[in-house]
Amino acid sequence: MIAFACGELGIMRLDDVYDMTFAEFQIRLFAYKRMQLRDWEKVRQIAWSAFIGSHQDPKTMPKSIDKFMNLDISNERKSNVSDAQKERFLNAMSEYIKQSKNG
C-alpha cells in the first residue's frame, strides 16, 4: 500500500500516507484505476485508427473497437482456486474470526 501510494498515486510525504484512512485510500485507488482506463481508451483509439487506416482486408478485421481491444478485464480474470481450496480458506477465516472474538 505504501509503495503504491508513494509511487502511482504520487503522494510525496510518508506522513500523508500513514494519516490516510482506508476509505480515502480506496477512493484514491478508484480514481487511479479510472484514469488508467481513460489512458487505455486513448491508446485503443489510436491503435484502432492505425489498424483500420492501413487498408486491411475488411473480412479479417474485427467488426468493432471492443473486439479489437477489450478493456473489460473482469471477463479475462479466471480463478485457479479450486472449490476445496475456497472451502478450506473460508473455514480457516471463520475459525480466525471466532478466535479473535474470544481472545
Question: What pLDDT, on the 0 to 100 scale, is given for residue 5?
Answer: 79
Residues whose CB is less than 8 angstroms from the CB of residue 61 and which lie 6 or more positions away in sequence, other chains included: 51, 52
Mean per-residue pLDDT, 97-103: 78
Residue ranges per domain, the chain?
2-102
For 19-51, what is each residue's pLDDT tens digit?
888 888 888 888 888 888 999 989 988 888 888
Report pLDDT digits (tens) over 86-95: 888 888 888 8
Strand, helix or coil for residue 61: coil
List for the chain the helix, strand, coil content (%; round to 5). Answer: 65, 0, 35
pLDDT digits (tens, 9 = 90+) for 48-78: 888 877 767 777 777 787 888 788 766 555 6
- Cβ neighbors of 1 (< 8 A, separation 6 or more) are 17, 25
> What pTM was estimated for this model as a whole?
0.50
